[in-house]
């Protein structure tokens, strides 16, 4: 993390801490974090499996000591536009013909996308039995400032839109509460009082809001068809480092709505579930093998990365769940709608596609303003221009190369792009998109990670959660019938300004909250 560049608002924030105040702040932060489940399982590089053979240890999630400064106008716009983004992506997921035309360009060059599409085709041929879909989305943004025009205002630009396993809804609620707690006990020095107060530290109620989305799907499913008690399934990775984030949603769902929740490791799907003749999905808890639960909703927190499908059995398991009568979060088509190729098709300059899904010009205009220029790497006119930009080290330094993947650690940045493409067969280039880098304002903060203090320049990424429950082809003319559509809280992830990636679980970022300022 490098020193922060001078800035009239942020050059003296966060302030210098005396050793005594720093010790007081960190002690309270650590204790509060563990007591409130602001935690993760330790990475193998921090605690080896040999030293934790049962996998029971936990440590504080990487977190900032101070809430990071964030422009109030950008924050408010990002939250206000989320319901429109929900509407946009549920419309895309419901337009199989249009989505299929985008996916077709990837089938020969991206095996993972091809296999996901194949699952859809097989189920389509036999007939879907559930037309309700749930999206727990997250739209990620960075603040963009024009480096060539210091007088230009700040604006939010979208980094990506997540349609599957949109994580940290649980921890984001806790970290905003943590920073408000540290303020309330006087852990922050008095000179921060003009910036840090109840009005500038927005709460994130993402855990409760996302749980409300799951509860809405559970209710919309209707009464049990099998006379068995009903439940919601969380499909999770095994082992799962980010378990506490998921538990916050589970506990909120159970305590507020009295919904029974079970966690099902991806590799146990075929062993612990079965389909009735009408494709009702039944879950058999390993601890109670004589009991059956009817599954109303499947919440995928696994299955978004190719390396999770360790054998053909895992694809059989995904097909098994997708063809069931349970409501999927997300459905296979909603999962595919999150491909970076979809984002590129919408955001390529002069693209006509956005208006297809958002007929309201004012809504479309607001969404369009959040797009950073994105290009394909195919043989189209825009693609050929992008190939020139990507292969020139000077122009490539303004771009990031993205594959059709969720999770951190997959992107290629700036001057690393030309050598990467040189080693990649040209036939594989269209599997990537080229996106113009967003230039955030310089900030500093202090991050506590694995017990170590890291202080210096940082970059912040704002994620806004959204809930959308819809009935595909439920309205006139085959349009979606939207049953629920609301913004569901926020997440701020912060990383050192020398790190390109931002994934917290992937080891790059930290969990943060916003201090809203008028810049």
Annotated binding residues for ATP: 160, 340, 402-411, 413, 435-438, 461, 495, 501
- Active-site position among 402, 480, 485, 510: 402
407 is catalytic: yes
* DSSP structure string for 15-40: PP--HHHHHHHHHHHHHHHHHTT-EE
- Active-site position among 100, 267, 407, 507: 407
312 is catalytic: no
Residues, the chain, total? 519
Pairing label, strands 481-496, 59-60: unpaired
Binding residues for Mg(2+), as ranges, are 160, 162, 406
Chain-centroid distance of CA 340 in Å reads: 13
- Active-site position among 406, 489, 496, 513: 406
21 is catalytic: no
- Active-site position among 41, 487, 493, 510: 493
- Active-site position among 59, 68, 133, 167: 167
Binding residues, as ranges, are 138, 160, 162, 164-167, 240-242, 246, 301-304, 340, 402-411, 413, 435-438, 461, 493, 495, 501, 504-505
Chain-centroid distance of CA 80 in Å reads: 18
Task: Tell me the C-alpha distance between 310 and 96, whole Å.
Answer: 28
Among residues 129, 209, 160, which one has the least CA distance to residue 484?
A: 209
- Active-site position among 33, 60, 133, 162: 162
Report the b/e string of 59-95 with b at 16+ CB within 10 A. Answer: bbbbbbbbbbbbbbbbbebbbebbbbbbbbbbbbbbb
30 is catalytic: no
- Active-site position among 318, 340, 363, 449: 340
167 is catalytic: yes
Q: How far is CA 493 from CA 445, 447, 464, in A?
A: 12, 11, 11
Binding residues for substrate, as ranges, are 138, 164-167, 240-242, 246, 301-304, 493, 504-505
481 is catalytic: no
83 is catalytic: no
Task: Tell me the C-alpha distance between 22 and 25, whole Å.
Answer: 5
- Active-site position among 10, 33, 160, 487: 160
Crossing angle of helices 169-184 and 19-35, rounded to 10°: 140
Tokens of 407: 């999770």
Whether the CB-CB separation of 324 and 130 falls below 8 Å is answered with: yes
96 is catalytic: no
- Active-site position among 87, 94, 138, 205: 138
> Most distant CA pair in the chain: distance in Å?
68
Whether the CB-CB separation of 154 and 519 falls below 8 Å is answered with: yes
186 is catalytic: no
Active site residues: 138, 160, 162, 167, 340, 402, 406-407, 493
């Amino acid at each position: 993390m490098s020193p922060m560049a001078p800035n009239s608002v942020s050059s003296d924030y966060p302030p210098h801490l005396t050793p005594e105040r720093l010790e007081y702040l960190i002690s309270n932060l650590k204790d509060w974090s563990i007591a409130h489940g602001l935690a993760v399982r330790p990475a193998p590089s921090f605690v080896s499996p040999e030293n934790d053979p049962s996998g029971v240890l936990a440590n504080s999630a990487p977190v900032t000591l101070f809430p990071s400064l964030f422009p109030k106008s950008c924050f408010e716009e990002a939250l206000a536009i989320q319901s429109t983004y929900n509407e946009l992506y549920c419309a895309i997921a419901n337009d199989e013909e249009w989505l299929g035309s985008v996916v077709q360009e990837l089938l020969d060059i991206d095996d993972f996308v091809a296999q996901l599409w194949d699952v859809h085709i097989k189920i389509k041929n036999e007939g879907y039995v559930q037309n309700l879909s749930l999206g727990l989305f997250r739209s990620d943004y960075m603040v963009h400032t024009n480096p060539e025009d210091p007088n230009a205002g700040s604006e939010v630009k979208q980094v990506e839109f997540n349609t599957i396993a949109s994580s940290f809804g649980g921890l984001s609620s806790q970290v905003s509460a943590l920073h408000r707690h540290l303020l309330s006990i006087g852990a922050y020095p008095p000179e921060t009082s003009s910036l840090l107060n109840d009005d500038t530290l927005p709460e994130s109620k993402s855990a409760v809001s996302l749980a409300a989305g799951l509860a809405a799907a559970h209710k919309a499913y209707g009464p049990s068809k099998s006379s068995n008690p009903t439940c919601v399934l969380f499909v999770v990775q095994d082992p799962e480092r980010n378990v506490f984030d998921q538990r916050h949603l589970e506990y909120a769902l159970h305590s507020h709505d009295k919904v029974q929740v079970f966690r099902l490791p991806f590799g146990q799907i075929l062993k612990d579930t079965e389909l009735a003749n009408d494709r009702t999905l039944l879950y058999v808890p390993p601890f109670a093998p004589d009991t059956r639960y009817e599954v109303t909703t499947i919440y995928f927190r696994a299955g978004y990365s190719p390396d999770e499908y360790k054998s053909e059995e895992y694809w059989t398991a995904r097909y098994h769940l997708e063809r069931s009568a349970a409501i999927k979060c997300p459905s296979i088509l909603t999962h595919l709608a999150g491909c970076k190729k979809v984002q590129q098709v919408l955001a390529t300059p002069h693209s006509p596609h956005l208006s297809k899904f958002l007929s309201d010009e004012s809504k479309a205009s607001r969404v369009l303003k959040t797009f950073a220029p994105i290009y394909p790497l195919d043989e189209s006119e825009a693609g050929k221009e992008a190939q020139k930009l990507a292969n020139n080290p000077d122009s490539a330094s303004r771009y990031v190369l993205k594959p059709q993947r969720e999770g951190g650690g997959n992107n290629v940045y700036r001057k690393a792009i030309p050598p990467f493409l040189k080693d990649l067969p040209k036939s594989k280039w269209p599997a990537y998109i080229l996106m113009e880098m967003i230039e955030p304002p310089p900030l500093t903060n202090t991050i506590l990670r694995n017990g170590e203090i890291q202080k210096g320049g940082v970059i912040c990424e704002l994620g806004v959660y959204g809930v959308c429950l819809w009935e595909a082809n439920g309205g006139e003319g085959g349009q979606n019938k939207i049953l629920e559509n609301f913004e569901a809280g926020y997440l701020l992830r912060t990383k050192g300004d020398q790190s390109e990636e931002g994934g917290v679980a992937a080891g790059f970022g930290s969990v943060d909250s916003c201090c809203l300022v008028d810049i």
